[in-house]
A and B are shown apart, each in its own frame.
Chain A
Amino acid sequence: MTDRALAVVRSGALTTVQDRGRAGFAHLGVGRSGALDAPAAALVNRLVGNGPEAAVLETTLDGCALRPRRAVTVAVGGAPCPVTVDGRPAAWGAPVAVPAGGLLDVGRAVAGLRSYVAVAGGVAVEPVLGSRSTDLLSGLGPPPLTAGTVLPVGPPDGGRHARVDVAPQPGPPAELVLRVTPGPRDDWFTPQAVRTFTSGAYEVSAASNRIGLRTLGPVLERAVTGELPSEGMVLGAVQVPPDGRPLVFLADHPTTGGYPVIGVVRGADLAAAAQARPGTPVRFVAVRR
């Protein structure tokens, strides 16, 4: 391995390699995966001069620590968090130079859940079906990072990183408002359940993960009690499992499922869903397509 590499010193609760994911293989049972907060991943790539396809690291709540073998430019964005280089405070949301052998520490998120770390040249693990993303459901892509993992880094693109002090990024939501278009299986629920879905007070469940945002709140009663034959599932689909609590499918969702989908969350609202901590209030708002 070349000296363009990052050694993982502290992996945090869950840190994975993510890019824009692997679309086009759902018919083989392969989900799309990819960064949950896609705008944040795109922003940190821009800050270090990477193309939008470059792979970044996605942390969960408590960050990670990395030691580059050679001097690199990095940027941390997404969930705001303290950033230090060899113990000295460094910028969040802006390019940061880390010397060879220096220690980059991405700290615990002060708000939100998932911080993103881009390195100039991108994380260059071997792609699987055209993507470097870790898919926690299917097991494709590199395993979640552990201390001692060494990640290859690609050649930087001429060092043309953005000249900004701090890039503006939306703050994590105090209340998660998710716009949903109804269907395709809203007719499997009672009219009361359909009203409850878009008027009830939900909150983010601690059982949420990269596969789905689970909620706690009023139970949605079914009008059709039979079993739904397995059908294709889209990103943002709100599936209602037998416990009656809506579950929003995120990037690592299964490609097919057998529980009815009452509505589909707008793609533009999923980045906020990725940053909502357990306990955050959730409202589903019906919109027309």
Chain B
Amino acid sequence: MRMLPKIVPRVLPVGDDALLVEVSSGDAAQALHAELLRRRAEGLLAVREIVPAARTVLLDGVAEPARTARQLAALEVPSTLPATGAAVEIPVRYDGPDLADVAAHWGVAEREVARLHAATEFRVAFCGFAPGFGYLTGLPARYDVPRRTTPRTAVPAGAVALAGPYTGVYPRSSPGGWQLIGTTDAVLWDHARTPAALLSPGTRVRFVAVGAV
């Protein structure tokens, strides 16, 4: 359980019935998101969508935006991330074409990238880009990597990739500029399944190395 500095939300109105709640860090945004979900579950917050992102949580379709904005500005957010259920395990072959580049950025050997990545507990900070695409945090800031200077026109489904502070898994083939470090057979998104998304905001995730590195 990580302790966070006191969280002071800034509330920005968005259109006529949405509010953007901004905090100072990604961890604070995750704590704020958990608190807003709790308040909605307890009937204290009437809202259609709660959309976490990097430093913000968007509340869209707010029943009483002015009153809710005043309440949120005074919100006390617990400065710990709540414990969630068991971690989702994602088997990975660390065989991505950018493994050598990432190893160079990290200043370690390629097999060490795999070891460090698989030893990290991740958490889904938010989703976006495509249905079921999660932005996972957990690596220390020294392992941030830039996007590729030239994005690929097609990244295959199941590609495990890094960009900035995030790890992500491509749910389906799409263009992409992230650094590819591995491949998984896990199905990230299947709309015929319940739930459709393997990863949703707040989910804990571990990558499990399979095969030779």
Q: Which size class do A's interface residues fall under?
A: 20 to 34
Closest residue to A187 on the B side, CB-wise?
B12
Report if A28-B54 is in contact (Cβ < 8 Å); known contacts: A140-B131, A184-B20, A254-B128.
no
Cβ of B158: which chain A residues have Cβ within 8 Å of it? none
Contact with B along A168-189 (1 / 0, CB 8 A): 0000000000000101110000
Closest residue to A256 on the B side, CB-wise?
B128
| Contact call B54/A231, Cβ cutoff below 8 A | yes
CA of A256 to CA of B18 in the docked complex: distance in angstroms?
A: 14
| Contact call B129/A256, Cβ cutoff below 8 A | yes
Q: Which size class do B's interface residues fall under?
A: 35 or more
Report if A234-B127 is in contact (Cβ < 8 Å); known contacts: A27-B49, A27-B51, A129-B196.
no
| Interface residue ranges of A30-69 to B (CB < 8 Å) | 30
- B96 on interface, CB distance cutoff 8 Å: no
| Contact call A229/B191, Cβ cutoff below 8 A | no
- A88 on interface, CB distance cutoff 8 Å: no
Q: Which of A23, A25, A139, A231 contacts B56 (CB 8 A)?
A: A231
Closest residue to B10 on the A side, CB-wise?
A184
Report if A234-B60 is in contact (Cβ < 8 Å); known contacts: A24-B49, A261-B14.
yes
Q: Which of A23, A27, A184 contacts B12 (CB 8 A)?
A: A184
| Minimum C-beta distance from B149 to chain A (A) | 16
Report if A229-B54 is in contact (Cβ < 8 Å); known contacts: A29-B127, A30-B131, A234-B18.
yes
| Contact call A231/B58, Cβ cutoff below 8 A | yes
CA of A104 to CA of B51 in the docked complex: distance in angstroms?
A: 43
- A201 on interface, CB distance cutoff 8 Å: no
| Contact call A230/B14, Cβ cutoff below 8 A | no
Cβ of B211: which chain A residues have Cβ within 8 Å of it? none
- A194 on interface, CB distance cutoff 8 Å: no
- B126 on interface, CB distance cutoff 8 Å: yes
CA of A23 to CA of B107 in the docked complex: distance in angstroms?
A: 45
| Contact call A23/B129, Cβ cutoff below 8 A | no
- B76 on interface, CB distance cutoff 8 Å: no
| Contact call B48/A23, Cβ cutoff below 8 A | yes
- A13 on interface, CB distance cutoff 8 Å: no
Cβ of B129: which chain A residues have Cβ within 8 Å of it? 29, 254, 256
| Minimum C-beta distance from A37 to chain B (A) | 19
| Contact call A26/B54, Cβ cutoff below 8 A | no
| Contact call A232/B15, Cβ cutoff below 8 A | no
Q: Which of A26, A138, A140, A181 contacts B15 (CB 8 A)?
A: A181
| Contact call B201/A27, Cβ cutoff below 8 A | yes
CA of A266 to CA of B57 in the docked complex: distance in angstroms?
A: 21
Closest residue to B171 on the A side, CB-wise?
A29
| Minimum C-beta distance from B192 to chain A (A) | 9
Q: Which of B16, B60, B196 contacts A232 (CB 8 A)?
A: B60
Cβ of A267: which chain B residues have Cβ within 8 Å of it? 15-16
Cβ of A129: which chain B residues have Cβ within 8 Å of it? 191, 196
- A237 on interface, CB distance cutoff 8 Å: yes
- A78 on interface, CB distance cutoff 8 Å: no
Cβ of B49: which chain A residues have Cβ within 8 Å of it? 23-24, 26-27, 232
Cβ of B58: which chain A residues have Cβ within 8 Å of it? 26, 231-234
- A264 on interface, CB distance cutoff 8 Å: yes
| Interface residue ranges of B30-68 to A (CB < 8 Å) | 48-58, 60-61, 65
CA of A255 to CA of B50 in the docked complex: distance in angstroms?
A: 11
| Interface residue ranges of A131-167 to B (CB < 8 Å) | 138-140
| Minimum C-beta distance from A225 to chain B (A) | 18
Nearest first, the 9 closest Cβ-Cβ pairs linking A and B are: A232-B58, A264-B15, A229-B54, A256-B128, A232-B51, A184-B12, A29-B127, A231-B53, A231-B56
Q: Which residues of B contact A (CB under 8 A)?
A: 12-16, 18, 20, 48-58, 60-61, 65, 126-133, 135, 172, 191, 196-197, 200-201
Q: Can you pick out 7 interface pairs between chain A and chain B where the beta carbons lie within 8 Å of each other?
A: A23-B61, A27-B50, A138-B131, A181-B13, A181-B16, A234-B58, A254-B128
Q: A29-B197, A229-B54, A289-B13 are in contact. List 7 more A-B contacts (CB 8 A).
A: A26-B58, A28-B131, A139-B172, A184-B13, A184-B14, A264-B14, A264-B16
